[in-house]
Amino acid sequence: MKDKTGRTTRLWLTVIRVSDMDKALRFYNELLGLPIALDARMFNHAEVGPEEPLAKIGLHETGKKSTRRRRTGIVFDTDDIYALYERLKEHGVKFTLKPTKMPWGGIVADFLDPDNNELEVVQDPEHYRRDYMRNVPAIAKNEEVG
């Protein structure tokens, strides 16, 4: 048995509010393709996301739809942002940012779920291999300046 250290071990769950659980599950499961990991509708709760140990999105039903956009901070990865954009648009999903190439190299798009929760999707296969510091001045790298 591993020694317990009292440290955090992973990001487990982030929760967003939804007004209608059935509608939310159709959006996240059927449209976005996230498996239903936990169905606890009797407690106004469900979780969608990949197999353990990866993080999930908790859906908490409030019965009230937000009238304004709520930023969630949830960012999805995709293998083809343009195909995903077209497919979601065909299903009436509203985008607040169309696929846009960012200065750091990735392509980003932002969209809303049925409850005005803003979600982001990124296509950036080089994300963890890119040298982000190569074009930063020496002072930003904490190097001695001459």
Q: Is residue 41 part of a domain?
A: yes
Residue 40 domain-assigned (yes or no): yes
pLDDT for the residue numbered 5: 79
End-to-end C-alpha distance for the chain, whole angstroms: 53
pLDDT tens sequence across 13-50: 999 999 999 999 999 999 999 999 999 999 999 999 98
Would you state the pLDDT for residue 135? 59
For residue 97, pLDDT beyond 80: yes
Query: Is residue 71 included in any domain, yes or no?
Result: yes
Residue 21 lies in a domain: yes
Per the DSSP assignment, residues forming a β-bridge with 109 are 121
Distance CA 92, CA 77 (A): 21
Domain tally, the chain: 1
Three-state DSSP at 38 gives strand
The pLDDT value recorded for residue 46 is: 96
Residue 6 within a domain: no
Give the pLDDT mean for 78-90: 96
Q: For residue 142, what are the CA distances in angstroms to 137, 139, 146? A: 9, 5, 12
Has residue 140 been placed in a domain?
no
Please report whether residue 35 resides in a domain: yes
| pLDDT of the residue at 142 | 54
Q: What percent of the chain has pLDDT over 70?
A: 89
- Estimate the share of the chain in helix, then strand, then coil, as percent rounded to the nearest 5: 20, 35, 45
- Is there a domain that residue 137 lies in? no
CA angle, corner 105, sides to 99 and 107, nearest 5? 15
For residue 96, what are the domain limits? 13-129
Q: What is the CATH number of the domain that holds 55?
A: 3.10.180.10
107-146 pLDDT, tens digit each: 999 999 999 999 999 999 888 888 876 655 554 555 554 4
